[in-house]
Structure formats: C-alpha cells, structure tokens
Structure 1
Amino acid sequence: MNFINQISEILAYCDKNTSPQDEVLYELERQTHLTTLSPQMISGHYQGRLLSVISRLIKPTNILEIGTFTCYSALCLAEGLEVNGNVHTIDPCRDYDELIMNVASKSPYFSNIIRYKDPAEEILPQMENVWDLVFVDAVKQDYPLYFSMVKNKVRAGGVVIADNVLLYAEVLKENKNASAQALDSYNQSRVADRDWTTIILPIRDGLSISVKNK
C-alpha cells in the first residue's frame, strides 16, 4: 500500500499522537457534534492543538478571532496568552450562546475571551488594538475584506491564520463558486504580498498561515 492510500491512517496516527485536549474542550466538541447542525465547523482536536501551539510560540497579548461558532478555537488560542491578554472574538450569530455558556464558560481561559455579537465589518473599524495573532474562520467570500481591514493593525512578526482556504478542493475547479473564487483570490494575494510570508498547510480543509515581515 503506497503513502497516498494510507492518508486516512496517517491522519489517525497523527491525531492519536497529538497531546490531548482538556476536559472542557472534549465536552465542547462532543456537545457541538450532538447539538448543532454544522458540527464540521468546529476546529476539533488536531487543529485545535495546532492553534494552541502557535499561540504558545507567539505568546500574544491581543488575539483577534473572526468567527466564534461554539468558542472552541477561541479557547485553544487563549492557551498561549500572556498575563492580562485577551481573545477578541467576533460573530453575530446567537444560536450557540447557550452551548457556550453551559460548556465553554467552564474553561479557566473563558475569562480571557471577549465576545462581540455584531458583524465583523461593523466591529473591526472600531477596534484600536494592535494584533499579535488573528484567526479567520467566518464567511468565506469575505476573507479578502477581513484581511484588508486588519492587515495594518497586525504588528511586525504578527500572524494571520485563515481556515478552510482549500474549501473541499473547490479552489482547484475551473468554474469556481463565489466562495471558492474569494478564497483563491485570498490565497494568491497572500503569496503576491511581499510584506507577508505565507504557507498553506493541507490540514483538514486547508490552513493558511501568514507572518507579517514589516
């Protein structure tokens, strides 16, 4: 059996040999799968540990997240915060408030999470923070807009992570839907922008990581 045919086994091996999530994250992931209509939107164990590791390496004070969902990724990102640091997470959807308050709020990191419940395009212009780390996991067609609104507020050496940038391989198609077109544009613009260094990791649905050079 060649490597390509073993991809699912390799991924399972990687997941098995990745540090475990804590009890709150485990329960939050479980309840997300049991009670929401789109549980695949959650970062989940493997990607969540990657977000935690990146945050711990950066040791951020100010983290911006666009797209809260059930607060799983925000809690993962919060694990690397400096003392008195915060995750500012934006999502106008109120559908998951009960799950967040019943489960996510039990995490010791929840007190470091500040939630905004209006659209990102309304909130971002009001924010004066200088961001150490940005995580984008929201409306795919708006990724180019989100980046344009935050790029000048990211410090030199700061990081922007964008999720779902492969969109189930839709970005490869000649006739792309609107979301795939926007993501393809986003991906190409990151490579063309010499102020940033970017890599796409083929993790789950694609994770773009951009570091600001100056």
Structure 2
Amino acid sequence: MHNSSLDLEQYILNHIDNEDPILSQLDRDTHANVLYSRMCSGHLQGSILTFLSKLVSPQNILELGTFTGYSAISLAKGLKEGGKLHTVEINDELEEFAFSYFEKAGLSETIIQHIGNAEEIVPALDETFDLVFMDADKRRYVEHYEMVIDKVSQGGVILADNTLWDGKVVEPIANNDLQTKGILAFNDHVKNDPRVETTILPLRDGITMLRKR
C-alpha cells in the first residue's frame, strides 16, 4: 500500500485533539533515552485510551505493564474524582522515569506504582476494577486474563494491547515464537469465553476490547 498507511495515520493525528504537552515530552524523552522505545503508546493510541477511559468513567483502573507511563497517564484522565490507577511494571529501572512524569502530570497521588511480577502483586490487591489495560508479557496473556477477570466489575472493560502482533497472528509461526503463540492462545481463549463480549480494534498492533457481561 506504498505510504498510504503512514499518510492515513498522519491524517488522523492532524484531526484529533492535540497531544498533551507532558505526554509529548514523555514520548520524546522515552525515544531519546529508553530501550525498546516503540513500546511507548504514543499520541494516537493514548488518545483512544483516554477516550475509552472517559466512556467507562472508572473508579479504579488496573494496568499491567507501565513502561514509561504514557498509557497510565492517558488512562488516568478518565478516572472519576478520587479514583485510583494501579500500574504494575516488572522492570525496576523504569520506576523513577515513570514517576517523574506522573508528578509532572499532577498524578503522583492518583497513580499507584507496583514494581515486580504481576502474578504475585495483582492477587494481593483488594480492589475491584472497572477498567483493565493488559500490556505486559504476551506469553502470559491467558494467565493474566484469568488473574484479573474476577476482579473486574460487571460491565467493566478489559483492553489487551498488541493482539494482532504486527500481523504475525496470520503468518506461519516459528516453534520458538512464544509471544505470538501466547497472543494466539489469548485471542482464542477470550473469543470462546461466555463471561465477556469481545471485539478487536485494528489500531497499531491491535487492541482487543472485552466487556464483562
């Protein structure tokens, strides 16, 4: 499709709300200083996360995979007054980076950081979540989904990132490609789970959207 997809994305960016200056700075800082910077949500995905969060109007949000904090800040914009966002990141080297931007965004009291393995941290959280954003280890997506589903309120929403995985979900899979296998297993699992309604938004690497019945 030559450059049509890039042109179309730029057209979209030109016709949505302007990027929050703090998020713009965060994105630049991430790309300048952090490995795997393409994992940063960026303006287009961030705007959709904010929009969806405002539609849900959650009291509590859970995020699996903080990275540098772009998605957490985007999601937190939709919280009800007094609401909290719990975000879990296994890489402790990113903790201070993300927290510095939570402070700049005025969200250091709203966003609660947890550093460590989500499968140890999340079961200990005594909360019900209206919105969950899954963006951690793709190999463990099914396990993470089962870990959070009972903590989601009725009518609550789960968003799972990267579920089209750069198109690899429709290509032959190498035996050692555990991340693609994990995503395929997750997509099949939720498609057949009667507890949720399921659709996929073909944005960037794909976002699976689930609503708890």
Q: What is the rounded CA distance, in whole Å, between the counterparts of 2:36 and 2:105 in structure 1?
A: 23
Aligned to 1:131: 129
The SS at the match of 1:208 is strand
Aligned to 1:140: 138
Higher mean C-alpha deviation, range 48-57 or range 165-174: 165-174
Q: What is the rounded CA distance, in whole Å, between the counterparts of 2:65 and 2:19 in structure 1?
A: 21
What CA deviation, in whole Å up to 9, does each residue of 1:76-135 have, x standing for no partner?
000010111010000121222332244342102332100011210101111121110000
Q: What is the rounded CA distance, in whole Å, between the counterparts of 1:173 and 1:21 in structure 2?
A: 34
Where do 1:2-13 residues align within 5 Å? 6-13=4-11
After superposition, the CA RMSD in angstroms is 1.5
Aligned to 1:199: 199
Is 1:121 matched up with 2:114?
Answer: no
Aligned to 2:66: 68
Q: What is the rounded CA distance, in whole Å, between the counterparts of 1:69 and 1:199 in structure 2?
A: 25
Q: Residue 41 of structure 1: CA displacement?
A: 0.5
Q: What is the rounded CA distance, in whole Å, between the counterparts of 2:129 and 2:99 in structure 1?
A: 26
Higher mean C-alpha deviation, range 21-30 or range 59-68: 21-30
Where do 1:87-102 residues align within 5 Å? 87-102=85-100
Gaps of 5+ in 2: none
Q: Residue 170 of structure 1: CA displacement?
A: 1.5
Q: Residue 4 of structure 1: CA displacement?
A: 8.1
Q: What is the rounded CA distance, in whole Å, between the counterparts of 1:146 and 1:27 in structure 2?
A: 31
CA contact (8 A) 1:25 1:104 kept: no
Aligned to 1:44: 42
Q: What is the rounded CA distance, in whole Å, between the counterparts of 1:103 and 1:138 in structure 2?
A: 20
The SS at the match of 2:133 is strand
Q: What is the rounded CA distance, in whole Å, between the counterparts of 2:204 and 2:108 in structure 1?
A: 26
Q: What is the rounded CA distance, in whole Å, between the counterparts of 2:127 and 2:160 in structure 1?
A: 19
Q: Output the amino acid matched with 1:17.
A: H
Aligned to 1:105: 103
Moved over 4 A (4+): none
What CA deviation, in whole Å up to 9, does each residue of 1:123-169 have, x standing for no partner?
11111211100001111101111001011111111000011111111
Q: How many residues align?
A: 211
CA contact (8 A) 1:24 1:104 kept: no
Aligned to 1:151: 149
Gaps of 5+ in 1: none
The SS at the match of 2:204 is coil
Q: Output the amino acid matched with 2:117.
A: P
Q: What is the rounded CA distance, in whole Å, between the counterparts of 1:30 and 1:43 in structure 2?
A: 12
Q: What is the rounded CA distance, in whole Å, between the counterparts of 1:173 and 1:22 in structure 2?
A: 37
Q: Report % sequence identity.
A: 36
Q: TM-score, normalised by structure 2?
A: 0.94
Distance change (3 Å), C-alpha of 1:166 and 1:111: same
